[in-house]
Structure 1
Amino acid sequence: MLNLIRYREFAEYRDGRETNLTGREANALYSPIEFLGAIGAGPVFLSPVAEQVDGTDFTWEEFILVEYPCPAGFFAMITNPEFQARLVHKDAGVEKTIVMVTHLRPSAQSTDIQLPPPTHPPTVDDPAFELVHVMDFHEVAQYEEGAAEPERTGAQAWAEFQAGGNATATAIGVRLSAIFDVQGVLTGDLERSWDQAWLVYMPSMAGYQALLADPARNAASYHREAALSDNYSLVTHPVINNIPTGSDDDQDPPLLPPITDAGVGTLCNSDADCVGIGFCLNTGSGPGICSRMCGSGECGDGYVCCHSCSELAAPLLPFTESACMVEAFAGQLSNPPVSCSCE
């Protein structure tokens, strides 16, 4: 889950309570670390934004990536009444946020390649940083009229731009840290269809400036203009950076739930994606998983049927009456005050 955050200068509570808290201080009261830990989730990248070099509609102050084990775990967390009680502090402290559901793309880079020493290595006064690009591509690249270019997608035009500066980037010591595909916007910006987030390691600001001055890169910059409908580019110095490699050789448990023979667990954006299965189990926007109404023992391997939840919690749940839920996270719904029967 990708989070772009801008804080209020001073906290503003909707109930009108008086406070001397800053926006950051109010948001710190929301901090849901123990709720994340309870479902096996946690931040894998957290950084203040040192500089925003692209994107002018909002100036972001913090960039966070949180890894969740699966959609069901996320739903279990957000339906916890104690978690929901904390949201008042986030609302008071955060002026603007965009939250996107993302999936880490497997890395195609070999860790065995020996790269040459960077031409602009990091120093105490000029440390390395991660340059974050959050991008909305044109479906079809928008080249100027008369450009001698074949029709290509925005993503393909971005790749052409990257190829133009590859030689200089490699010499400088620039490397791609991670690519995240955006599966949907959960909150904050439903008008734009964001596509990808790139994290790019820069060995130093001097190296970054050298890359910006590269003639080959600049000659290819028209591909960049054709590719992007919108984007944010952020200079970050992460205080947490534990992004998994995303390689096909990773032995970590899969992020996605199992899919049963009946289709339960299939990724979905709406009920239309679950025809013949049941309904899309989500919070109203962004990807979820197909589930269905059920009875005890009817859901298939890896799932249990959760039903008979408390009347207090029922309006907050992403299903009515009953639903097949991932077994590993059903315990979150079984506990008070939600108190579903999951079997």
Structure 2
Amino acid sequence: MKVVNAVHPEPKQAMQFFAGPEDGPFVMVNLLKFKEKAEYPDGSDSHLTGLQAYNRYAVEVRKLVEGLGGRIRFNGQVTGLLLGEVEELWDAVGLAEYPSLKAFQAMAMSPEMQAIEHHRKAGLAGQLNIKTKPGVGFE
């Protein structure tokens, strides 16, 4: 299995994702890898860790998610691996519930998101975003 962390999707990947069917609420699994030190383009806040920079983003993005009717279901530090093998573990996991793909896209493209995106970029070394549907297959 090939695993590649990224900070932003390639345009083709984003277009395919947002062209998917509108199938109601979903939960996005976020596997996060932080930079050791924050990297802001202007060199500011170089004393911050990547996690601290990302937390600036997280505080504000929670408001955006809740404002569109979603919620942050969980966030936590990765502390170990029981099964499988990866070269390097992610640092944290977040689960965010969105009411629809359209709502998620509107949030992702909003001026409010653009205003906080620099904190995300400063703190993240990479991540995986996995769209999931609740309750499918385990009933």
* TM-score above 0.5: yes
2:117 corresponds to: 221
Is the alpha carbon distance of 1:179 and 1:227 closer, same or farther for their aligned partners in structure 2, counting shifts above 3 Å? same
What CA distance in whole angstroms lies between the structure 2 residues aligned with 1:54 and 1:236? 19
What does residue 130 of structure 2 align with? 234
State whether residues 161 and 224 of structure 1, in contact with CA within 8 Å, keep that contact through their aligned partners in structure 2.
yes
Mapping of 1:2-13 within 5 angstroms? none
Q: 2:36 matched to 1:139? A: yes
Residue of structure 1 equivalent to 2:107 = 211
Q: Tell me how far 1:225 sits from its aligned partner.
A: 1.1
- 1:12-91 aligned at under 5 Å gives the runs none
Q: Give secondary structure in 2 for the equivalent of 1:212.
A: helix
Query: How far did 1:181 drift?
Result: 1.9
What is the DSSP-based 3-state SS (H/G/I as helix, E as strand, rest coil) of the residue aligned with 1:224? helix
Residues in 2 aligned to 1:131 and 1:55: alpha-carbon distance in whole angstroms = 15
- Cα RMSD over matched residues? 2.8
Residue in structure 2 matched with residue 181 of structure 1 by the alignment: 77
Paired with 1:199 and 1:239, the residues of 2 have a C-alpha distance of: 15
Cα displacement (A) at 1:210: 1.5
User: CA–CA distance in 1 between the matches of 2:86 and 2:9?
Assistant: 14
Query: What is the identity percentage for the equivalent residue pairs of Structure 1 and Structure 2?
Result: 27
Contact 2:38–2:45 (8 Å) recurs in 1:
no
Cα offset, 1:201, TM superposition: 0.6
1:1-343 mapped onto 2 (5 Å cutoff): 125-144=22-41, 146-186=42-82, 187-190=84-87, 192-239=88-135
Q: Give, in whole Å, the separation in 1 of the partners of 2:69 and 2:75.
A: 18
Q: Give me the whole-angstrom Cα distance separating, in 1, the residues matched to 2:39 and 2:30.
A: 19
TM-score normalised by length of structure 1: 0.32
For residue 293 of structure 1, what is the aligned residue in structure 2? none
**Cα deviation code 1:107-152 (max 9, x no counterpart):** xxxxxxxxxxxxxxxxxx54100011001111211222x3333521
SS in 2 for 1:220: helix
The one of the two structures with greater contact order (alpha-carbon pairs below 8 A, sep at least 6) is 2
Amino acid at match of 1:132: V
The answer on whether the counterparts of 1:54 and 1:234 sit within 8 Å (CA) in structure 2 is: no
Contact 1:135 1:196 survives alignment (8 Å): yes
Runs of 4+ with deviation above 4 angstroms = 53-56
Q: Over residues 10-56 of structure 1, what are the superposed CA-to-partner deviations in whole Å (9 max), with x where a residue is unaligned?
A: xxxxxxxxxxxxxxxxxxxxxxxxxxxxxxxxxxxxxxxxxxx9678
Unaligned runs of 5+ residues in structure 1 are 7-52, 57-124, 241-343
Q: Distance in 2 between matches of 1:130 and 1:171?
A: 16
Report the Cα offset of residue 185 of structure 1: 3.8
Larger Rg: 1
Q: Residues 54 and 232 of structure 1 are in contact (CA less than 8 Å); yes or no, is this contact kept in structure 2?
A: no
Q: Distance in 2 between matches of 1:135 and 1:216?
A: 21
Higher helix share: 2
* Residue 223 (structure 1) shift: 1.1
Number of matched residues? 122
- Partners of 1:55 and 1:231 within 8 A in 2: no
